Homo-oligomer: A and B are copies of this chain.
Amino acid sequence: MSSLGKEFRITVFGASHGEAVGVVMEGLPVGFAIDMDALSAFLARRAPGRGAFATARRETDAPHFLSGVKNGVTCGGAVTAVIRNSDAHPGDYEALRNTPRPGHADFTARIKDGDAVDLSGGGRFSGRLTAPLCIAGGIAMQLLEEKNIRVVSHIASIAGIADEGLFPASAPGKPFPTLSAARGEDMLAAIAKARADGDSVGGVVECAVLGLPAGLGDALFDGVESRLSAALFGIPAVKGVEFGTGFAAAALRGSENNDAFVLRGGKAVTETNRCGGILGGITTGAPLVFRVAFKPTPSIARRQRTVDLAAMRETTVEIAGRHDPCIVPRAVPCVEAAAAVVLYDILCSERGK
């Protein structure tokens, strides 16, 4: 299953070098005029071929609406959007068929899908599948903005270089969103260095959802963290998700980690936000803050050891294709998209209660 959500449900399909990738969205309101320019701008942040740090693959990534939209306005029923894979080079990958790339899904995809597996460009396991996620997320974001809910994020670290500044107090600039320009330069230098070394680097994206009402989510498995993490771990290369102080909380004392309740403007709020805007799976009304760890891109130029699965002997592989030495900048909108899809879904369920 490649579906997510309950009242706002998305189903993602396609493969990297197939004909198209796309998404079916069920539960969108009828009569909603999608801001196509804003959607394109959002998708452009994820699109390949932008900036020195990104892959050379160039695609317009313009979504085409197959159903549910008429003259840019939702007209009822499932909304289907597809992006054609205009720049697909399936041949690039055939050589890798029997020699799985370390750190990539080639190996497990083969086990899962058997001989029929489509490995071109990562097949259905490719980061390209985040493009339809971003279509859904971009639309969800527009719906959230109507309720004055905003999703913002920054690159918290790349290659161990941490961003500096107050988040989410200051909104970072695009398209390489760091709070500190200087640390951003350091990160870009680390990416360039990794590229020069035929290597790659990972990083952490920090995201906040502002303007959420208190009371969203629920106890146990329907908590905001459960639903959000399920979506975030669906983004390729994500290896960790934490909320508020997260893993650091494990080393703190209760007296250090608890957020005192205080009165602000006649309202009871938490003085600090170590809990990341969630207590007991439910939003507190403070910004919902979480961090997502991305591993370094597994596709590196260096020679790596692998196994020839046809001959069943050890061998090496060198990956030629077009690859980002760091997918973190392009992952930022994906994180935002996942958050927007989940939060909009939760809002739909709570609606009218």
Contact = CB atoms under 8 A, between A and B. Distances in A.
A220 interface: yes
A236 B67 contact: no
A124 to B, nearest CB: 4
Interface string A6-36: 1101011111001111101011011100000
Given A80-B22, A104-B279, A258-B103, A253 B199 contact: yes
Most buried by B among A82, A158, A201, A295: A295
Given A284-B107, A293-B249, A234 B221 contact: yes
Interface residues of A, number: 145
A258 B227 CA distance: 29
Nearest to A125: B280
Nearest to A10: B221
A331 B271 CA distance: 28
A239 interface: yes
A245 B103 CA distance: 12
A70 B118 contact: yes
A329 to B, nearest CB: 14
Given A246-B239, A255-B300, A263-B314, A116 B73 contact: yes
Nearest to A78: B13
A209 interface: no
17 contacts: A1-B218, A2-B221, A11-B24, A12-B78, A15-B67, A21-B67, A30-B112, A30-B117, A103-B257, A105-B282, A124-B219, A225-B233, A230-B230, A253-B296, A262-B314, A266-B312, A268-B309
A263 B11 contact: no
Contacts of A75: 15, 113, 116-118, 123
Interface string A270-312: 1100011011111110000001011111111010111101001
A155 to B, nearest CB: 10
A256 B304 CA distance: 11
